[in-house]
Amino acid sequence: MHEMSIAQNILEIVESALSENPGSRLKKVVVKAGELVAVVPESLQFCYQAITAGTPLEGSELQIEVIPVRARCESCGREFRIESFFFLCPQCESAQVKVLSGQELQVSELEVE
């Protein structure tokens, strides 16, 4: 399952960050997931709760922010948001576009106490 390996990744990142601050307890973790990663937020929540149960992270909150897909046209330089699966520049209709965001998956914020 795609979401389970993502949840595992998040857990590893959080645990290594917490090990640098002994005694701290995680309240909330914010994860940015690009639309192209195709995460199902409910499913990721479920996996996160499942793998943190019984660990020091149990009860922490997972917040998922979905990042839209953005691209830049290599022909005219225009940046735009991709809303369909036609990766065409809306200005000059070139197909030479470079995806700028939407593929990332990162832990952007940790709230500890």
User: Residue numbers of the site for Zn ion (CB under 5 A)?
Assistant: 73, 75-76, 78, 89, 91-92, 94
**Beta carbon of residue 70, minimum distance to Zn ion (angstroms, whole number):** 14
**Beta carbon of residue 74, minimum distance to Zn ion (angstroms, whole number):** 8
Nearer to Zn ion among residue 45 and residue 75 (C-beta): 75
Nearer to Zn ion among residue 40 and residue 76 (C-beta): 76
- Cα distances (Å, whole numbers) of residue 28 to 53, 54, 59, 62, 113: 15, 17, 9, 6, 10
Q: How many residues does the chain have?
A: 113
Phi, psi of 94 (to 5 degrees): -70, 145
Alpha carbons 74 and 37: distance in angstroms, whole number: 23
**Beta carbon of residue 83, minimum distance to Zn ion (angstroms, whole number):** 16
Nearer to Zn ion among residue 42 and residue 93 (C-beta): 93
Nearer to Zn ion among residue 14 and residue 89 (C-beta): 89
**Beta carbon of residue 90, minimum distance to Zn ion (angstroms, whole number):** 8
Alpha carbons 31 and 47: distance in angstroms, whole number: 14
C-beta separation of 36 from 66 below 8 A: no
